[in-house]
Chain A
Amino acid sequence: KQEVTQIPAALSVPEGENLVLNCSFTDSAIYNLQWFRQDPGKGLTSLLLIQSSQREQTSGRLNASLDKSSGRSTLYIAASQPGDSATYLCAVKGGSSNTGKLIFGQGTTLQVKP
């Protein structure tokens, strides 16, 4: 059974710092991995999607990497800002390629202090 773990559960950094969030999964047979952002009391916003054949994806100050063989992904945030404060969730897609469900980690809650 696929399990997804995110470490650390919470992280507090000063503004301007570069940081890395970690995501690990137990079964390497995934179709893709998606990083989301969730603000308190809100839904999930998709940040980056990495297909299983890809090594990384970039969007602005965000860079996500994927090492399928070792069951790991990282989300790198450059020059962090207070507006980046949120919970970051990773999810892997397994099962059927058409209907495969997402399995989520518990999330990392990030606080960026001004």
Chain B
Amino acid sequence: DVKVTQSSRYLVKRTGEKVFLECVQDMDHENMFWYRQDPGLGLRLIYFSYDVKMKEKGDIPEGYSVSREKKERFSLILESASTNQTSMYLCASSPPGFTEAFFGQGTRLTVV
């Protein structure tokens, strides 16, 4: 089975902290994605990466950055956490082409 693993299920951080969310996939997928999910707004794409060291902005990249140093790992970085970044964060991966996307279990981040 494809496995996408997010490092934490729940995180509580303070305003202004630098926060790292980690995602690892074990299927050698080229594409990886970070979404956030909020009630009433649905899932929105923050960043995605189609290869090591490659990244592209999604719909809501402001306040976030990403890092992909190895193919299997895609990190989302909140440079200075703010309360409006309290959300459910979901990582996904997929091979190139017309294929399925697979999601991790999600990280519920609360910024206080």
Contact = CB atoms under 8 A, between A and B. Distances in A.
B96 interface: yes
B98 A106 contact: no
A110 to B, nearest CB: 17
A97 B94 CA distance: 12
A102 B44 CA distance: 9
Interface residues on B, range: 20 to 34
A44 B103 contact: yes
Contact of B42 (A43, A45, A99, A105): A105
B97 A98 contact: yes
Contacts of A52: 98
A36 to B, nearest CB: 7
**Chain B interface mostly helix, strand, loop or mixed?**
strand
Contacts of B6: 43
B61 interface: no
B33 A101 contact: yes
A107 B40 CA distance: 10
A51 interface: yes
A31 interface: yes
Contacts of B96: 97-99
Interface of B: 4, 6, 30-31, 33, 40, 42-43, 45, 48, 50, 56, 58, 88, 90, 92, 96-106, 108
